[in-house]
């Protein structure tokens, strides 16, 4: 039995008990390798190869992830956790405009990294709403804090800043894909911040 067929044939399982330490290590390793594989090869990357690279058998993979979607969900959850961890200290920063600038650069990096998996990771309803919620909430709160401090223009909207940031993500991604020199995300986000700054 391969990991592919095992994942397809595995029955639905009840809620799991807390994992033993070795099972937790296998789980984390599978998610780590799956993230790398999906980013490199797309959402249809070989489950057998993922199991092999993680150093476990197909049975271990399908016990943790009965279907490919379960594994994609775990990869997406890991991404959301990373984004949320990056956002947390910025939401408490004492310099709102500087925190917003740093967040937008991180946002370009995060979205650019996972762009190739967007259709698989984000178009499913639950995945889309969870990820979009973290991104939007953080962006909105940081923009509102920067406006309240008087550091950016009061007429600036979250939608406008997100549109500008999306443009930076696209430009940086295209330059990288075509192996052409281009301005860094830090430089381009800095120009945006200069444009909306009151100082």
| Cβ pair 61, 7 in contact under 8 A | yes
Q: What secondary structure letter does DSSP report for 129?
A: H
> What does the domain layout of the chain look like in residue ranges?
3-11+19-66, 78-196
As a whole number, mean pLDDT of residues 171-190 equals 85
**Residues 6 or more apart in contact with residue 109 via CB below 8 angstroms:** 185
pLDDT tens column, 10-62: 434 444 556 788 888 999 999 999 988 988 888 889 999 999 999 999 999 99
Q: Give the pair of three-digit tokens for residue 5.
A: 């067929």
**pLDDT for 132:** 66
- Cα separation of 158 and 144, whole Å? 9
- Cα separation of 190 and 111, whole Å? 18
Predicted structure pTM score: 0.72
User: Which of the two residues, 183 and 153, has the higher pLDDT score?
Assistant: 153
Average pLDDT value for the chain: 83
Query: Is the per-residue pLDDT at 4 higher than 60?
Result: no
Query: Is CATH 2.30.30.230 the right assignment for the domain spanning 78-196?
Result: no
Query: Is CATH 3.30.450 the right assignment for the domain spanning 3-11+19-66?
Result: no
**pLDDT for 12:** 43
CA 1 to chain centre: 32
3-state SS track over 153-179: CCCCCHHHHHHHHHHHHHHHHHHHHCC
**pLDDT for 191:** 96
| Cβ pair 169, 108 in contact under 8 A | yes
**pLDDT for 151:** 96
- The packing angle between helices 21-41 and 47-54, to 10°, is 130
């Amino acid at each position: 039995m391969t990991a592919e067929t095992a994942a397809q044939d595995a029955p639905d399982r009840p809620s799991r008990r807390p994992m033993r330490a070795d099972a937790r290590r296998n789980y984390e390793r599978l998610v780590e390798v799956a993230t790398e594989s999906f980013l490199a090869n797309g959402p249809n990357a070989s489950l057998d190869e993922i199991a092999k690279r993680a150093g476990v058998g197909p049975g271990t993979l399908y016990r943790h992830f009965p279907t490919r979607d379960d594994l994609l969900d775990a990869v997406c959850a890991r991404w959301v956790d990373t984004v949320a961890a990056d956002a947390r200290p910025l939401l408490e920063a004492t310099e709102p405009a500087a925190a917003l600038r740093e967040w937008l650069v991180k946002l370009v990096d995060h979205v650019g990294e996972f762009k190739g998996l967007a259709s698989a990771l984000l178009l499913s309803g639950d995945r889309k709403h969870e990820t979009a919620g973290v991104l939007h909430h953080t962006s909105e709160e940081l923009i509102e804090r920067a406006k309240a401090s008087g550091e950016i223009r009061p007429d600036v909207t979250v939608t406008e800043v997100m549109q500008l940031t999306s443009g930076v993500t696209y430009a940086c991604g295209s330059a990288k894909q075509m192996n052409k020199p281009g301005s860094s995300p830090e430089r381009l986000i800095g120009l945006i911040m200069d444009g909306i700054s009151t100082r």
